[in-house]
Structure 1
Amino acid sequence: DVWSYGVVLWELLTGEAPYKGIEALSVAYGVAMKKLRLHLPATVPQPWRTIMNSCWAEDPHDRPSFPNILALLDEISKSNFTQTPQDSFRTLQGRWQAEIEEKVTEIRTKETDLQSREEVVRRAILEQKQQEESLKRREEQLKCREIELLQREMSIIILQQQQVSVEEQGKRPTPKKRKGKFRRKLLAVRSKPPQGTHISPPSDFRHNVCLQPTSGGGGGVLVGGASNPNTPLHHQQPSTSTPSPPSSPSTPRLRAVALPADGVKGKTWGP
């Protein structure tokens, strides 16, 4: 096409290989992205410069047709350029080649610098990906530690409540055994609920343990003797005897809280 014909004219005029020392893929990419063009030395005659620049126009519609190119070449053949001595033309060609070589060296330097920047960017992306994976693993470890800590707190609270229940059981008086004999049939009849009745929920039910979110690992009621069970929740202070483990930076961790007794209990013994 017209573009390639302009490259052939440049090669015949300068006696130099086009894009010498530059990789073919880099040449194809640079030409396609309109960032790479053959260098025209400053001393190239203006008619030749006009022909090659018009052949390399970015818009294909602005490029000349081959009849127009032949007409321009015919004008050059009738000019004084054809009367240039061969030795002088060789000397001029050598200057052009030196200037072109300098330009190619500059392009190679830019290409090397671009490759170095691409390598830096690639390493930065890889390092960022590794940091993200490390943070993700760290977050998963913190979540596992929070779950483990929550299980321990629940176990301690349940154990404390069991111990308190055993102590209270030991302090309760033992009721006397009732005398008399009950018939099994009478017990069976009384044990059957009447038709159309529903079992009501327990009247003295209350929560002994609950989970509360905390921010920054602080707050909440620590277990293991850190708070008085008879003190309301809003008056309890966090314990400073044992440091709390680090909490997750993304979500507030849960703390197991032993609810204090409210003083109201169901009747469990006695007449």
Structure 2
Amino acid sequence: MSKGMKIEFTKILMYIFLGLIFIASIYPIYWMLSASTLDNTNIFKKLTPGTNLFENFRILQEAMPIWRILFNSVFVSGVVTISTVFFGALAGYAFAKFNFKGREPLFFVVLLTMMLPIQITLVPLFIIMTNIGWTDSYLALIVPFMVTPFSVFLMRQQMLSFPTELIESARIDGSSEINTFIKIVLPTMKSACAAVAIITFMQQWGNFIYHLVVINSSEMYTVPLMLSMMVQPGHVIHYGAVMLGAIIGLIPMIILFLFFQKHFVSGALSGSVKG
């Protein structure tokens, strides 16, 4: 076999492999779409869409306040995402461009907190939220996650490559530090901000265990809680309605990714530019 034929054969195998990965990735979404239009009798028997979509939507609305729950998820994830991007960028700017006592040890502590799983902080957070009376409220869902170690780390790595001369020029011109940060530094960090925004929104949208602990009423449920409460043992489970709820909950994630996709890859890799 000639060298050219080997290259073509390798390409064909690669395309077949990528095609199989694509099918394996897209099949669960297709099954969810199809299942959301079927009743319990056919949901595990058919792979083609049915005609039970509106009935499943009626069941979903009767079981849960779907629009309030969707608002809760969008509101909580949106506020946390905005605050994480801003405060993470602010802290990253301080760690990258300011020389202050204890800077390196503090940044090391930030990196250490990235290794802590949510299970370790769950009980202390619940005790704190209970003592200050924030359980079953937006404050409990938002405040503990307003800035994350990952956002600080990624923004700091990105800002290390920002020209210090521009900042010094702004200071000479009389610009305040916060004005320099907002008008000069932050606009150049769109890629890193997009990466942090997508990752943070995804994490908060799928945050289940913490929300389960601090939320009691269905009016404060988020999408993951809603789906889990609809599959409780001992109750009739309408799988079509559950799948429809999952599809509705997936739409904001798809919109967010499509909106930020051109910035995502460059932002996620920006931390490797300079360390």
TM-score (norm. length: structure 2) = 0.20
Higher relative contact order, structure no. (Cα contacts within 8 Å, ≥ 6 residues apart): 2
Structure with the larger helix share: 2
Larger Rg: 1
Per the normalisation by structure 1, the TM-score is 0.20
